[in-house]
A and B are shown apart, each in its own frame.
Chain A
Amino acid sequence: DAGVIQSPRHEVTEMGQEVTLRCKPISGHNSLFWYRQTMMRGLELLIYFNNNVPIDDSGMPEDRFSAKMPNASFSTLKIQPSEPRDSAVYFCASSLEGYEQFFGPGTRLTVL
């Protein structure tokens, strides 16, 4: 099993640019989660999906953030326009029926 796949692993962009982070969950998992981790705030849940449907997006910081899951094997997190305070590591995780989450390797985003 390939595990959760995230791309890109590193992203450096300039303020104002659009950023798209991608995630492929583990095959067969029915829940997908997007997290953001910073030193100041720790690990924050941004949004999660059940069976491709967004269930709770209360953690999405602003309208600049949006997430989609068009099918069971793919999700995107988009930031438009990006700001320096969005710099963080963004994790995607998937799980089956509420058991343990398996995390991807993360995307380290730097917004200059």
Chain B
Amino acid sequence: AQKITQTQPGMFVQEKEAVTLDCTYDTSDPSYGLFWYKQPSSGEMIFLIYQGSYDQQNATEGRYSLNFQKARKSANLVISASQLGDSAMYFCAMREGPHNFNKFYFGSGTKLNVKP
């Protein structure tokens, strides 16, 4: 089974609107971490946001928030007030196990296009 599933290969959003990128994960370990990365066309991988499995509140970083639904094993990324510069590939990732174990899994990515 896939550890990380991103079901949206591509998405469009109008500039200034909010967009949700879906991510579901699969683990039986009670300790894990969830991450989102952005990869613009220039190719670099940029860390956006982190959510730990024991964190009670959803993580937020500026215009990014992570909608963490533990029972559903989903970790959707919400981008508010989309900007043209948000057009990129977005990857969801999971670290399975506690911090001293570093097995990371990445999803296949979602390509976001922000329309002016």
Which residues of A does B touch, CB under 8 Å? 31, 33, 35, 42-43, 45, 48, 50, 55-56, 89, 91, 93, 95, 97-103, 105-106
Contact = CB atoms under 8 A, between A and B. Distances in A.
Interface of B: 33, 35, 37, 43-47, 50, 91, 93, 95, 97-106, 108-109
Given A55-B102, A98-B99, A105 B50 contact: no
Contacts of B95: 98
Contacts of A48: 102-104
Q: List 10 A-B pairs, minimum CB-CB distance, nearest first.
A: A98-B99, A103-B45, A100-B47, A97-B99, A43-B106, A31-B102, A42-B108, A98-B102, A98-B95, A100-B50
B106 A42 contact: yes
A67 B101 CA distance: 19
B100 A98 contact: yes
Given A42-B108, A100-B35, A95 B102 contact: yes
B30 to A, nearest CB: 15
A43 B93 CA distance: 11
A50 B100 contact: yes
Nearest to B43: A106
B99 A102 contact: no
